[in-house]
């Protein structure tokens, strides 16, 4: 996950002097989008059923013999 301290934003100001836009290097923007997508998936799966590692191994080994 990208740390905000490593971002290099440039602020574009409107005629009234207030910041209106932020420009980021493409690689930083892409990392932010990737992090956002990862966090979205995590949130969507938050309530999915959980399975223990030992149960997972049992399930995998029982399917491997088929």
pLDDT in tens, 20-55: 999 999 999 999 999 999 999 999 999 999 999 999
Model confidence at 63, pLDDT cuts 50, 70, 90, reads: confident
Joined together, the tokens standing for residue 3 give 């740390």
Name the β-bridge partners of 19: 13
Largest Cα span, the chain: 71
Distance from C-alpha of 50 to C-alpha of 64, rounded to nearest angstrom:
21
- What is the reported pTM? 0.66
Domain ranges for the chain, please list them.
4-64
CB 8, CB 1: distance < 8 Å: no
Residue 56 pLDDT = 93
């Amino acid at each position: 996950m990208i740390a905000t301290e490593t971002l290099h934003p440039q602020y574009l100001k409107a005629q009234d002097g207030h910041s209106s836009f932020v420009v980021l290097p493409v690689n930083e923007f892409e990392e932010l989008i990737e992090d956002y997508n990862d966090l979205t998936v995590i949130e969507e799966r938050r309530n999915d059923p959980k399975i223990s590692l030992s149960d997972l191994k049992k399930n995998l080994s029982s399917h491997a013999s088929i």
